[in-house]
Amino acid sequence: MRCDVAIIGAGMSGLAAGLRLAQFGRSVVILERHGMWGGLNSFYKKDGYRFDVGLHAVTNALSPGYRGPRIPLQRIYRQLRLDPDLFALDPQGFSMTVFDDATLRFSNGLELLTQEIAERFPGEVDGFRLLGERCAAYPDSMVERPFVSTRAILADFIRDPLLVDMILCPLLYYGSAHENDVDFDQFKILFNSIYREGFCRPKEGVRRILDVLVSRFRESGGRLLRSTAVEAIEVRDRRVAALRLEAGGVVSADVVLSSAGLLETMALRTDADRVPPGPEVPGELSFVETIWVLDRPAKELGWEPSVAFFNRGSGFSWRRPEVFVDDTSGVICCPGNYRHDVAPEPVVLRATHLANHRAWFSFDPPAYDEAKREALKISESAVEAITGPFTSHALYRDMFTPKTVTKFTGHRNGAVYGTPDKRRTGRTDLDNLFLCGTDQGFVGIVGAMLSGIAIANAYVLSAKGGEGA
């Protein structure tokens, strides 16, 4: 099979890149290992219930009547020629960060968070306002630069270590591949995405966004091949000559975009043993996620936040835990607590905790099942300590682990945000192979879509005289 552009992976970045290119008349093939598209943000059916794999929140909410510099969601709508109503996004009510000694609520826009900081940390609110100003502009996403420690920079704005950790906790959970810190440019992106613009959610969950991307891609002439794993990237004369498929057959393309991850993509190369190893290492940060189906809306049990980030004990630790599941911190998400006019079905509560991928990958099948049961109990008691009792209303439980993340993404170590060493330009040492998605540096649903668009613009459309970003 021949095409202009072949894309490895039908996650958010691969789909957005594919749609952008197909709309410009390129012949595009997306090759997806799984039977379903969406990557880490897919959906599945189990025992009669329909679940999203990972959806807590779509970041970068666009407030009605927003006037100002173009923000990420507007860029996506414009670049993919989508009517904003198609994703059917509703805003959050409010979210919060709960530590032993303080709670801070936040919602879309910085007002509520600023007010809460003024009440709980009065001496810090001016510093927080200045931090907001310092973060106001988005950095250029495609420029390589050395890591700059956010913790070092925050010390110039915020003195109280509790507030530093409380500001960081949601942002690290939703987008840092670095242990215990985050690059300052990435921090600015996350600050704007989560605090300034805020959270929203598609009425029908992530399948709504995926349906739009996939149907538009096909209508634009793109081909999406499911259950089609790329087994090898054949390299000749510093170029990808062809992609060899696991099921047999080859695809050749002028340009190849890969959303499979930096190290994972390099390992597929037929010359992998001759490529000198780079400094990049696999990420260490992975999650377990617990899902409860409840017999009634969480609000009826007295739980109102859309998303809650919690931490117990002193200091917030964002690193691979020693134990298989770390119940000292987590994220609790309640899809029914968004401002939807019709409550999502089933009623679900989800919780995410850091997990030790080494432990999970070392378990044999019986030990793995036992560990899941144990992790579920640990998660339940940690979450109930924050939300109050709810498990007597649980009709069904499901859980996924670092092994599941690897299954859905191919990422080593189940590393949700990939390697800490991002390739912001998307370039590799091969002339026609580029990275998009997680390891290009933009994470999350919105970040991954923007990454796909930016890489398509930079290396296919601009290169051939099409419309740039």
Ligand X SMILES: Cc1cc2nc3c(=O)[nH]c(=O)nc-3n(C[C@H](O)[C@H](O)[C@H](O)COP(=O)(O)OP(=O)(O)OC[C@H]3O[C@@H](n4cnc5c(N)ncnc54)[C@H](O)[C@@H]3O)c2cc1C
- Residues near ligand X (CB under 6 A) are 8-14, 31-34, 39-41, 54-59, 229-230, 259-260, 287, 289, 352, 405, 409-410, 416, 437-438, 443-445, 448
The answer to whether residues 450 and 442 touch, using CB atoms and an 8 Å cutoff, is: yes
CB of 34 vs ligand X, minimal distance in Å: 5
The answer to whether residues 256 and 426 touch, using CB atoms and an 8 Å cutoff, is: no
CB of 19 vs ligand X, minimal distance in Å: 13
Phi, psi of 349 (to 5 degrees): -125, 135
Nearer to ligand X, 10 or 158 (CB): 10
3-state secondary structure of 145: coil
The answer to whether residues 157 and 130 touch, using CB atoms and an 8 Å cutoff, is: yes
The answer to whether residues 435 and 423 touch, using CB atoms and an 8 Å cutoff, is: yes
Nearer to ligand X, 158 or 332 (CB): 332
Nearer to ligand X, 158 or 230 (CB): 230
CB of 407 vs ligand X, minimal distance in Å: 8
383-409 burial, b at 16+ Cβ within 10 Å, e below that, comes to: beebbeebbebeebebbbbbbbbbebb
Instruction: Name the residue among 6, 13, 43 with its Cα closest to residue 28.
Output: 6
Nearer to ligand X, 18 or 127 (CB): 18
Which residue type occupies 14? G
Q: Which residue has the tokens 């997306």?
A: 30
Nearer to ligand X, 23 or 59 (CB): 59
Cα→Cα distances 332→298, 307, 314, 322, 363, Å? 12, 6, 20, 22, 26
CB of 405 vs ligand X, minimal distance in Å: 5
CB of 79 vs ligand X, minimal distance in Å: 16
CB of 187 vs ligand X, minimal distance in Å: 16
Nearer to ligand X, 158 or 449 (CB): 449
The answer to whether residues 423 and 46 touch, using CB atoms and an 8 Å cutoff, is: no
Nearer to ligand X, 346 or 441 (CB): 441
**382, exposed or middle or buried, with CB in 10 Å at 0-12, 13-18, 19+?**
buried
CB of 86 vs ligand X, minimal distance in Å: 17
Nearer to ligand X, 12 or 359 (CB): 12
DSSP class of residue 460 equals I
Nearer to ligand X, 7 or 163 (CB): 7
Interacting residues of 250 by C-beta distance below 8 A, sequence separation 6+: 1, 234, 242, 243, 244
Nearer to ligand X, 105 or 244 (CB): 244
Nearer to ligand X, 259 or 457 (CB): 259
Cα 195 to its chain centre, rounded Å, is 16
**How far apart, in Å, do the first and last CA atoms of the chain sit?**
29
CB of 265 vs ligand X, minimal distance in Å: 8
CB of 102 vs ligand X, minimal distance in Å: 24
CB of 439 vs ligand X, minimal distance in Å: 8
CB of 423 vs ligand X, minimal distance in Å: 13
CB of 414 vs ligand X, minimal distance in Å: 8
Nearer to ligand X, 39 or 127 (CB): 39
Q: Which residue has the tokens 């859980």?
A: 399
Q: CB under 8 Å, gap of 24 or more: what pairs does 374-378 form?
A: 374/324, 374/325, 375/288, 375/290, 375/324, 375/325, 375/399, 375/401, 376/290, 378/325, 378/327
Alpha-carbon torsion angle 417, 423, 424, 425, nearest 10: -150
The pair of three-digit structure tokens given for residue 249, joined into one six-digit string? 């057959």
